[in-house]
Amino acid sequence: MKAPAYLILTTTLPFAALSIYAQDVTIGDITFTSTSADPDATWYDPMVQEGAIVLDGFGALNGKTRTITYSAGEAISGVKTIKRKCVETAVGESTEEIWIAFDSNDDARVLKIVRSGNLVFQANATATPPLYMPSLPKDGQTWDLSGTTVTVDSVIASNSGTCLKVTYKTGEQAESRFLRVGDGIIYIEAGSDSGWRPRAKLPTP
């Protein structure tokens, strides 16, 4: 759990001192801290701000690309965020933008979703931010992410680090992502004969 941060400023005026404390922000029934845009060191997706990764399709997706970029996102209801933008050329060109913040338990939550320019969800006082990924995922754990059912199929510990297999199912379409602590996506299965492999991380500006 992140500890509350505080800053103390002392003026030169006699007997004057000003203490400024970082305020917790509650959205729905979830509490965020001033470090809400800072992923934990053991996070599965590094989410490096201004970083990016390109995935190449194989099998039925051969010749297609998916590019995921991260940047500092806008503050939503006073909560700092990381913006994750995914552009895919598998079917024409589709774009999904997700604003993510870490709550007081270090769970990643979604504060805003925009797909192909259309606002799908935005958290507010009565709209609780859905879970994006728990800080300590467990086998069989499942949750709803704005119409997509997310399931942790397995948590695998090995010499190369802990890896997750997570399946995202929307309607009849399912996609499994393999994530490793600190590395993010290793590869993605989009079907029995196709998927995505990371090509390279793009240089940061």
Interatomic CA distance for residues 161 and 3, integer angstroms? 26
204 within a domain of the structure (yes/no): no
Domains: count for the chain: 1
Contact 100, 38 (CB under 8 A): no
> Which has the closest alpha carbon to 91: 173, 165, 149?
173
> Which has the closest alpha carbon to 101: 198, 24, 174?
24
Q: Is 165 exposed, middle or buried (0-12, 13-18, 19+ CB in 10 A)?
A: middle
Q: Which long-range contacts (CB under 8 A, 24 or more apart) does 173-179 make?
A: 179/44, 179/45
Domain that holds residue 31: 6-198
How much is the pLDDT for 14? 42
205 within a domain of the structure (yes/no): no
Interatomic CA distance for residues 113 and 100, integer angstroms? 9
The pLDDT tens digits of the residues spanning 157-201 come to 888 788 999 999 999 889 999 998 878 888 899 887 889 999 865
Contact 199, 54 (CB under 8 A): yes
The pLDDT tens digits of the residues spanning 13-64 come to 443 443 345 578 899 889 998 667 777 666 777 666 567 888 999 998 898 9
79 within a domain of the structure (yes/no): yes
Q: What are phi and psi of 73, to 5 degrees?
A: -90, 170
